[in-house]
Amino acid sequence: MRVCAVALCGLVLGFGCKKSGTGQELPSRGQVFTDSAYGSVMVRISDKDTDGYEGNGIQNEYARADAWSSDGSRIVLRSNDGGFYLYDAVNYSMTRDLSALSGGQELEPRWPAGDASGFWYLAGPCLMWYDIDRTAGDTVHDFRAEFASCNVVTTGVEGDASGDGRYWCLMIRDADWNLVACCVYDREQDSVVGSRTDFHDEIDYVTMDASGTHCVIGYDTSPMRSYYRDFSHEVTLPDGAVGHSDIALTEDSTDVIVIQNTATDWISMVDLETGAETNLVSIPFDVNTDIGLHFSGNCYGKPGWVLVSTYGAVNPEPGQSHSWMDNLLFMVELKPDPRVVKLCETGCYTGQNPRSNYFAEAFASINLSGTKAVFGSNWGVLDPEDFTEAFEVRLAAGWDQ
């Protein structure tokens, strides 16, 4: 593993009165500042006092979905009480409350590559399309046509479509939230091309890979499984493939999933076709037992890398056990003996165990082109308990060189 930091010239700017665990003051919304540890340029996107979103915090929905439109002009954020909001990603103003679109369920907005005019989302039994200019939602497909008892379609919030938006792996649930089936939907042909009704365990989430070749079922306690679109060719992933993970592409466009292997304590990648595992980075639990990790492989336009974000219950003080990867955003190269590029400290602290602020887990998401990331941080502030604001991290030109 070869570790380097992105270094940029600039001043560390502080604004406001709240300070992170690193001592940086909480910047104002829209103010450009520089991470004091690794030099990455950052911007605070949101501000509850101005935006008026519901709840005490806001950030990207999750690590596994790109929050930005393909042209980078808009970004969708999720408040900590479940509302969704559209922001202008240039001047960082909130432009629209999207919360009513889904009818009370998770919206799961997914931007298409190459089209910034709208996004797909899930509402009731339907896959929908939201046209931003018309401020309207249109039905793409109603899954009651194939599954009469379908009341809700969902990925479990943590899934995504194929990179081109053609194939979708979805859970079909009835009015009592019972799982009816998992299916793969071909948006181009407007048809369900595969379904499955028998499972190894309670399902946590489902997703497609980047190429649309494989769908993945993530279970609560059993190892994940990879399938072809028709649910043939079942491949069982390693025994430790039960933690956080995300789909990614290697430099030669092989479909993999990057995982925290809970059996070996390695960050590793697994080939979805063969199940072959490659260890990438050892997790230093021998130094600090309180390390949590999230992964974001959304940078399909820059294959060969994954974004890793880490979190912990407390900010280690001098003399306390802490590791090199604590409360950090960093890129990991998807090959043996990878390069690791540190981006910034997160200022995220989830409170003493049991963790009091889930939303301070810094589940950062990288954009399609691998040029910027978004995450939520409480900046070390634990009151109110679920406080976070959204931050943008700009990756320096040539960061992978």
> Any alpha helices (H) in 46-99, and if so which ranges?
48-51
**Phi then psi for 110, rounded to 5 degrees?**
-135, 115
**Phi then psi for 150, rounded to 5 degrees?**
-65, 125
Q: What is the mean pLDDT of residues 303-314?
A: 90
Give the position of tokens 């181009």. Answer: 188
Q: What is the mean pLDDT of residues 172-180?
A: 97
* Residue 178 CB partners (closer than 8 Å, separation 6+): none
pLDDT at 314 exceeding the cut of 70: no
Query: 189 or 242: whose pLDDT is higher?
Result: 189
Cα 147 from Cα 184, distance rounded (Å)? 13
Cα 335 from Cα 198, distance rounded (Å)? 35
Listed residue (346, 307, 313) closest to 67, CA to CA: 307
In eight-state DSSP terms, residue 69 is -
Q: What is the pLDDT of residues 24-79, one digit of tens each?
A: 688 899 989 999 889 999 999 999 999 999 989 999 999 999 999 999 999 999 99
Cβ atoms of residues 390 and 45 within 8 Å: yes
pLDDT at 16 exceeding the cut of 50: no
Q: What is the pLDDT of residues 256-274, one digit of tens each?
A: 999 999 999 999 999 999 9
User: Which domains does the chain show, CATH number per domain?
Assistant: 2-394 (2.130.10.10)
pLDDT at 7 exceeding the cut of 50: no
List beta partners, residue 227: 215
Which tokens in the block code for residue 170? 């979805």
